[in-house]
Structure 1
Amino acid sequence: MRIRLLSAVSVAALSVLVLTGCTSAGTESTPEATASASADLCAVAAPTGETAESISVSGEVGQSPTVEFEAPLDIVSAERTVAVEGDGAQITEGAYVSYALAIFDATTGESLQEAGFGGTALPAMQISVGGGPDTFFGCATAGSRLVMTIPDAGSGAQVYVIDVLDVTAADAWCSVSEPGDAFPTVEFDADGNPTVTIPDADAPEGVEVEVLEAGDGEVVESGDNVTVDYLGVTWSDGETFDSSYERGEPATFPTTGVVSGFQRALEGQTVGSTVLVSMPPACAYGEAGSSTNELAGETLVFVIEIVETARGDQ
């Protein structure tokens, strides 16, 4: 199913170890709540240790790093050290982090793979206590460079270098606004199948949502399992890339299991509603070059009919 969120970490073991899909949670805006969330994330980060501190990393944050260590490293536990401490925004509960990642073989010192450096960050990932990535990122600040030692989990012991490129608070990430003057239009045929027409205009920079029809059912909440019919097209050429209408049956998934723009379009709406949403690459599948997904770099437009919702714990 094309709307499902691909792992934000698209390289090697980090996606396997720590990412099962983004979760969504707003944070209270009080200073006390923010401080508490930061403290919690600080506490769950992997501890520092002699092995991690023995690794030398050079180069500018955001650029491909040069890593030196005496191989083979004897890595018996995950360790983390902050090689460069940035002066940007701090990661708080639910914040979204844009980052770059390099992975090295701890036995040979060989570079295994890297992504997100040189101005093309990996798709942003949400950081929450207990979510998995919290162990790696903790409460680091934007502009920081983190070094992690990873014990052998089947692919050999590894060394990670993670650059924290940007931090966006949960309530500011992919926030929704009303459509501008140039926005797609939708027509439904006699069978209820939609056709989307893209205007001859630049795509919006943010997530824009238009309620085509307001339902009177239950409100969709974060983490709900929603059943929807949907049609997805690309703004660039208006071509359909996914459609439940074509498959002949609606789809069911948690709101927290889809890309951020789709999630924002669902949560807060009511069952029976039909909405039209446009989302930029950052709120969909990332910028071109940051992901192997063929929709990376594309502004996506979805028509969504909300059929049913159920609490995530039901």
Structure 2
Amino acid sequence: MHRRLRRPAAALSGLLLVSALAACGGGGSEEADDPGSSSSSEGGSGDSETGEEVEGVTFEGEVGESLTVDFSAEVPQPAETTVTTVVEGDGDPVEEGDTVNTYLWLGNGTGQEQLFSDYDNGAPQAIPYEPAQLDELFGSLLEGQTYGSRVVAVTTPEVVFGADPQGNQFEVQDSDSLVVVADLVDEQQAAPEPSSDQPEDAEPDTQPSVVEEGGNPVGLDFEGIEEPELDQPVQRVVLEEGDGAPVTAQSEVTVNYLGSTYEADAPFDESYSRGEPLVSPLSGLIPGWTIGLTGVPVGSRVLLQIPPAYGYGAEGSGPSIPGNATLWFVIDIVSAEG
């Protein structure tokens, strides 16, 4: 299934750099919501300083807009992680409890090459600053910083990939150095709280119409539909009512689906063309699905309008789902167990 539908992680205990990078597929792919497998971090934060560059590396581009990294020499592997603020932002201090919109960049300082960049992926990652839950590398990148800063860590594969870094997806060797850049763009604001946590049965003319080809949904037509308020509850239209058992919040569902944002040129995801329905516990998906599908009979086709608080919040998901985006899903409920 497409991991985009998975419920975002609520805790930072598994959000280490390796999982953030692995979840994104290494570069160029859409950002996923699962944090992936976690690993331990050792080595500590080491020394911290402020300067315009790191020895052997220069950084160009405005924080939050672009990043070009040029290696003039091989970066030696440090005995412990060193952290340098190469651009000191003039924004507010990063404080405990903030969620920091951060563009991450990873490079091999020995091989003098880029391994991963959020700038290539088109969107920052949201990192909650909870020092007690962050691994030491992330903690050292955020501690004492201000928004608008560019912070660089030079570290080892063990710190990034865990005690046994062999077999990492980037083919980094034990003896290599790693350069990690964190552009701390701004504080992520929370998504507005919906006025109700219950679904509202909406009139079909208040929702986009389903565009079909060969009997399968291929998109949504938003002509004449105004963009909803962000605090509007989940809106539900049962387009075709099935005659099966009702879905429960504890069900494992098998569904086909298509998802879109407002007036999007194309869906951000769909299962119809793949011919592989999604099979998942409903409780493991974004909350709007549980709210909107509970009580709907198997065999139904449903159109859901989901506010950002019950979707991907202020964070969004990858370049195709911006922060605080209302989502629409066409869902065919094939079966439900439990």
Q: Output the CA distance in 1 between the equivalents of 2:268 and 2:71.
A: 48
Q: Output the CA distance in 1 between the equivalents of 2:269 and 2:116.
A: 30
The 1:75/1:175 distance shift into structure 2, 3 A limit, reads farther
Out of 147, 155, 162, the residue aligned to residue 150 of structure 1 is 155
Q: Output the CA distance in 2 between the equivalents of 1:116 and 1:195.
A: 29
Q: Is the 8 A contact 2:104 2:117 kept in 1?
A: yes
Q: Output the CA distance in 1 between the equivalents of 2:306 and 2:265.
A: 14
Out of 286, 289, 293, the residue aligned to residue 318 of structure 2 is 286
The 1:129/1:239 distance shift into structure 2, 3 A limit, reads closer
Q: Is the 8 A contact 2:252 2:337 kept in 1?
A: yes
Q: Output the CA distance in 1 between the equivalents of 2:253 and 2:45.
A: 44
Look up the match of 2:289. Answer: 266
SS in 2 for 1:286: coil
Q: Output the CA distance in 2 between the equivalents of 1:226 and 1:131.
A: 34
The reply on whether 1:236 has 2:259 as its aligned counterpart is no
Matches within 5 A, 1:103-252: 103-107=106-110, 109-110=112-113, 114-116=117-119, 122-125=123-126, 127=128, 134-138=135-139, 142-152=147-157, 153=165, 154-155=171-172, 156-168=176-188, 172-173=190-191, 176=194, 183-185=207-209, 197-200=220-223, 201=225, 206=230, 209-212=234-237, 218-219=248-249, 226-234=252-260, 235-237=263-265, 241-243=269-271, 247=275, 249-252=277-280
Q: Output the CA distance in 2 between the equivalents of 1:82 and 1:125.
A: 20
SS in 1 for 2:4: coil
Q: Output the CA distance in 1 between the equivalents of 2:276 and 2:79.
A: 51
Look up the match of 2:78. Answer: 75
The 1:49/1:134 distance shift into structure 2, 3 A limit, reads closer
Identity among equivalent pairs (%): 20
| Cα displacement string for residues 186-217 of structure 1 (whole angstroms, at most 9, x for unaligned residues) | 699xx9x879752215655858631336x976
Count of matched residue pairs:
266
Which runs of no fewer than 5 residues in structure 1 stay unpaired?
Answer: 25-43, 289-294
Once the two structures are TM-superposed, the CA of residue 151 in structure 1 deviates from its matched residue by 1.2
The reply on whether 1:90 has 2:95 as its aligned counterpart is yes
Q: Is the 8 A contact 1:151 1:157 kept in 2?
A: yes
Once the two structures are TM-superposed, the CA of residue 110 in structure 1 deviates from its matched residue by 4.9
Q: Output the CA distance in 2 between the equivalents of 1:252 and 1:130.
A: 33
The 1:167/1:112 distance shift into structure 2, 3 A limit, reads same
Look up the match of 1:30. Answer: none
The 1:73/1:46 distance shift into structure 2, 3 A limit, reads same
| Cα displacement string for residues 266-294 of structure 1 (whole angstroms, at most 9, x for unaligned residues) | 35556334550357897654336xxxxxx
The reply on whether 1:102 has 2:105 as its aligned counterpart is yes
Once the two structures are TM-superposed, the CA of residue 163 in structure 1 deviates from its matched residue by 0.6
TM-score normalized by the length of structure 1? 0.55
Q: Is the 8 A contact 1:277 1:303 kept in 2?
A: no
Once the two structures are TM-superposed, the CA of residue 122 in structure 1 deviates from its matched residue by 2.0
Once the two structures are TM-superposed, the CA of residue 229 in structure 1 deviates from its matched residue by 1.9
The 1:233/1:271 distance shift into structure 2, 3 A limit, reads closer
Q: Output the CA distance in 1 between the equivalents of 2:265 and 2:77.
A: 52
Partner amino acid, structure 2, of 1:199: F
Once the two structures are TM-superposed, the CA of residue 232 in structure 1 deviates from its matched residue by 0.7
Out of 291, 305, 308, the residue aligned to residue 277 of structure 1 is 305
Look up the match of 2:160. Answer: none
Q: Output the CA distance in 2 between the equivalents of 1:144 and 1:4.
A: 29
Once the two structures are TM-superposed, the CA of residue 142 in structure 1 deviates from its matched residue by 3.5
CA RMSD of aligned residues (A): 5.7
The 1:238/1:269 distance shift into structure 2, 3 A limit, reads same
Look up the match of 1:49. Answer: 46
The 1:150/1:174 distance shift into structure 2, 3 A limit, reads farther
Once the two structures are TM-superposed, the CA of residue 45 in structure 1 deviates from its matched residue by 10
Q: Is the 8 A contact 2:282 2:289 kept in 1?
A: no
Which runs of no fewer than 5 residues in structure 2 stay unpaired?
Answer: 10-14, 26-30, 36-40, 158-164, 166-170, 239-244, 297-301
Q: Output the CA distance in 2 between the equivalents of 1:136 and 1:70.
A: 24
The 1:72/1:89 distance shift into structure 2, 3 A limit, reads closer
Q: Output the CA distance in 2 between the equivalents of 1:195 and 1:112.
A: 35
Once the two structures are TM-superposed, the CA of residue 49 in structure 1 deviates from its matched residue by 1.5
Q: Output the CA distance in 1 between the equivalents of 2:83 and 2:230.
A: 35
Q: Is the 8 A contact 1:18 1:132 kept in 2?
A: no
Once the two structures are TM-superposed, the CA of residue 251 in structure 1 deviates from its matched residue by 1.7
Q: Is the 8 A contact 2:21 2:116 kept in 1?
A: no
Q: Is the 8 A contact 1:18 1:131 kept in 2?
A: no
Partner amino acid, structure 1, of 2:208: P
Partner amino acid, structure 1, of 2:318: G
The 1:14/1:196 distance shift into structure 2, 3 A limit, reads closer
